[in-house]
Amino acid sequence: MTMNIPTELQERSAARNLLPLVAIVFSGFLSIGIPLPALPLHVNGTLGYNAAVVGWIIGIQSFATIFTRKFAGSYCDRHGPKQSVSLGLPLASCAGLLYLASTRIADPLSSIAVLTLGRLLMGPAESLFLTGTMTWGIGRVGVAKTGKVMAWQGIAMFAALGLGGPLGIAIQQRFGFAGVAWTTIVLPLVGFAVARTLTALAVTRGHALGLSFTGALALIWRFGLALALAAMPFAILTSFLVLLYGSYGWQGAGYAILGFSAGYIGVRLFFAHLPDKIGGARVGAVSVAIELCGQLLLWLAHDPMAALAGSVLTGIGFSLVFPSMGVQAMARVPAHSRGIAVACFMAFIDVASGLTGPVVGVVIGWYGYPAAFLAGALACVASLAVMWSGSRSDSGSATVAQG
């Protein structure tokens, strides 16, 4: 019994160190999630623009995030994660100010131009505060608990995005888009207040010591590519599951999406320690295999219950892919370059999110909605192949070293 006390104390200490950062991620991502359902209503209903413009306004933040990952990672390594978070969250509030300013402009073209600037500003804001909190969390609890850091912060991200949907619609209906803008202004400042109370990590000075973005990419690309391929089924499910249900005339698409979320969060709550405990390679491979089963079930589904089961399995499988690949990726980079490595790693998800919709949309145009989930299954197979080739490469390197 006494042997377990140090471990229990370590777990409690890790939880205490991570909870403030989880709160920061949650408040920051609420400011991203709440506007998402409100933007189409505002851009189409109030400003009168068509669906193409709506898609552009929503998607432009993702592209801004991709192109600022490198800057955010370098900034985090040079100035420390606390400074990165302390810059990113006020930038998110400034994006909210631009949202608010756009509601005060009568001319639709000028209004949407200011709104676009706000969406562009939210990209680097997200890059900075998310890279900062990930790096800060690893620094506060140790690289051995990288999986736990990524799992807990992932729960905060998805919980905020999930809660943001109904909240955004409710606020839009009650207060208009101006109310959404005010929420976007205030929420990041709550996270900022929490961040300022925390102790900063020591920063290793000296530019020459840090990895470049391409240097970090060379070390972690396999794990990032495996993650990107495994993230495609998630993007497919969130984009096309409702349309699959509609094509068959089924009811209950909302329950299927809820089932995905329940599987995702449930696994992270109870099994987040597994990548750190038994290794990211094993957990990642098993996770993607489960995700593959979920996608195949969705492809072959002939009734809503089968589709629901496929959604739940996809959520269960996808849940630990991010921390599993993250554990392996972060183990390959020096501590003083962890910020650029986190930014590089996160960019793979951005690319997957940006490319999946258009590519799979073409597939659906040719073969129908079920084919989207066959594409998701093939992405899982490709992810497993990348993991397998990486493990072969690692074992080969180890054999050479021993020889």
pLDDT of residue 47: 86
Written as one letter, the residue type at 212 is: S
In a domain, 10, yes or no: no
Q: How many domains does the chain have?
A: 2
In a domain, 401, yes or no: no
Region 55-74 average pLDDT: 82
323 with 380, same domain: the answer is yes
Write a three-state SS string for 157-196. HHHHHHHHHHHHHHHHHHHHHHHHHHHHHHHHHHHHHHHH
Region 87-107 average pLDDT: 95
pLDDT of residue 52: 67
Domain boundary among 198, 224, 249: 198
Q: What's the domain range around 252?
A: 210-389
Q: Which range among 132-141, 184-193, 326-335 has the greatest average pLDDT?
A: 184-193
| Residues 237 and 369: beta-carbon distance below 8 Å | no
189 with 223, same domain: the answer is no
In a domain, 187, yes or no: yes
pLDDT higher than 90, residue 309: yes
Residue 33's pLDDT band, with cuts at 50, 70 and 90, is confident
Task: State how far the Cα of 383 lies from the Cα of 296, in Å rounded to an integer.
Answer: 15
129 with 242, same domain: the answer is no
pLDDT higher than 50, residue 306: yes
Domain boundary among 141, 175, 198: 198
pLDDT higher than 90, residue 77: no
Task: State how far the Cα of 94 lies from the Cα of 96, in Å rounded to an integer.
Answer: 5
CATH number, domain of 221, equals: 1.20.1250.20
pLDDT higher than 70, residue 395: no
